[in-house]
C-alpha cells in the first residue's frame, strides 16, 4: 500500500494546470492525503470530474477558499473524524487573534481495519511569530493528544504539512533561519515531543543528511537551486513503524510550492 501526502496549495489551481491528473496517473496512490485544498467539496473540480477509484473524505474550512484537508482513498475507511476528538477539542482553548483554527479544516482522521491515518495542516506561526503562542502552548499539544487518543485503539500513521523543520538537516540555510517562523526553538520542541512520544519520522528511517526538501519559496529560483525546507512528514507510531518499507520525497512532482511525500506499507 502506497500512501501519499501533498500540500497542493489550492486543489483547483493544481487541477487546472493539469498537474493533479498527471500525478494521479503516474503515481496511482492507494491513499492520498491533501492539505491546503482551499475548496469546499462542491467547489472542487474533483467532484465534477469524478475519480471513480477513490472515496473522497473532505474537511473544508468554514471560510471559503482557505486551508482545508482531504483524504482520497481506494479502500473505504471504517470511520472518518473531522477535527479533533471531543476529548481533545473540549480540553483546549484554540481561539487566538486570527480566529479558531479548529474551524479551518486542518485535521482529518480515517480509521482502517488495523490503523488510523491522520492528516494535518498545522497553523503557520507567521513571519512576525504572532501565532507562535498558539503553536507552542495549544496546537502541537492538542494534535499529539488527538493521535495518542486514537492510538489507544489502533496504531497511528500521521502525515501532512507540519510547518516546522525539525533539525538543521531539514532546511538548506539553518543559520539564516534560526528562531524565525518554522525554525523556532518552540516549534522544533513541539516536533520533538512527537518523537519522545514514540512516533518515528519515517523518512529518517531510510535517509540521513541534508538536501532533502519538500517546500521552496517562489522567489529567487529556490526550487531549481534546491534551497528548501523539509516541513512535510509521515510519522508512525511504534506498532506500525516496522511495516513501513519505503519513505520518499517526490521533488519532481510540480504544481504546488510543496511536493508530495509518501510511505509504502
What percentage of the chain's residues is helix, strand, coil (to nearest 5)? 30, 25, 45
Cα–Cα–Cα angle for 40, 45, 49, rounded to 5 degrees? 130
Check if the beta carbon of residue 258 is closer than 8 Å to that of residue 7. yes
Class of domain 2-264: alpha beta
Those residues whose C-beta lies under 8 Å from the C-beta of residue 242, and which sit 6 or more positions away, are: none
Number of H helices, E strands in the chain: 10, 12
For the segment 121-148, what is each residue's pLDDT rounded down to a tens digit? 999 999 999 999 999 999 999 999 999 9
β-pair partners for 79: 111
Checking DSSP bridges between strand 2-7 and strand 232-236, what pairing results, if any? unpaired
Return the CA Rg of the chain. Answer: 17
**Cell 473522497, residue?**
56
Positions marked catalytic: 121, 161
What's this model's pTM, rounded to 2 decimal places?
0.97
Q: Name the residue ranges covered by the structural domains of the chain.
A: 2-264
What is the per-residue pLDDT for 210?
A: 97
Check if the beta carbon of residue 234 is closer than 8 Å to that of residue 3. yes
What is the per-residue pLDDT for 45?
A: 80
**Cell 529518517, residue?**
204
Those residues whose C-beta lies under 8 Å from the C-beta of residue 37, and which sit 6 or more positions away, are: 8, 10, 11, 44, 58, 60, 67, 68, 69, 70, 105
Residue 99 falls in which region: left (phi positive, over 0), alpha (psi -120 to 50) or beta: left
Q: Which residues of the chain have pLDDT under 70?
A: 48-49
Amino acid at each position: 500500500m502506497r500512501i501519499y501526502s501533498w500540500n497542493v496549495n489550492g486543489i483547483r489551481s493544481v487541477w487546472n494546470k493539469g498537474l493533479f491528473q498527471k500525478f494521479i496517473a503516474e503515481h496511482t496512490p492507494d491513499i492520498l492525503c491533501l492539505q491546503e485544498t482551499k475548496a469546499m467539496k462542491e467547489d472542487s473540480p474533483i467532484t465534477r470530474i469524478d475519480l471513480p477509484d477513490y472515496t473522497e473524505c473532505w474537511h473544508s474550512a468554514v471560510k471559503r477558499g482557505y486551508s482545508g484537508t482531504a483524504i482520497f482513498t481506494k479502500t473505504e475507511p471504517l470511520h472518518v473524524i473531522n477535527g479533533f476528538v471531543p476529548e481533545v477539542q473540549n480540553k483546549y482553548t484554540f481561539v487566538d487573534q486570527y480566529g479558531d483554527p479548529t474551524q479551518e479544516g486542518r485535521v482529518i482522521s480515517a480509521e482502517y481495519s488495523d490503523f488510523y491515518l491522520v492528516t494535518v495542516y498545522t497553523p503557520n506561526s507567521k513571519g512576525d511569530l504572532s501565532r507562535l503562542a498558539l503553536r507552542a502552548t495549544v496546537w502541537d499539544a492538542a494534535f499529539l493528544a488527538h493521535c495518542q487518543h486514537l492510538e489507544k485503539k489502533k496504531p497511528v500513521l500521521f502525515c501532512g504539512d507540519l510547518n516546522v523543520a525539525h533539525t538543521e538537516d531539514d532546511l538548506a540555510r539553518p543559520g539564516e533561519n534560526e528562531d524565525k517562523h518554522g525554525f523556532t526553538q518552540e516549534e522544533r520542541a513541539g516536533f520533538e515531543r512527537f518523537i519522545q512520544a514514540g512516533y518515528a519520522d519515517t523518512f529518517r528511517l531510510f535517509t540521513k543528511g541534508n538536501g532533502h526538501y519538500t517546500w521552496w519559496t517562489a522567489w529567487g529560483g529556490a526550487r531549481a537551486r534546491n534551497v528548501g525546507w523539509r516541513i512535510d512528514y509521515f510519522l508512525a507510531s511504534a506498532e506500525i513503524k516496522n511495516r513501513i518499507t519505503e519513505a520518499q520525497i517526490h521533488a519532481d512532482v510540480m504544481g504546488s510550492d510543496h511536493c508530495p511525500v509518501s510511505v509504502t506499507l
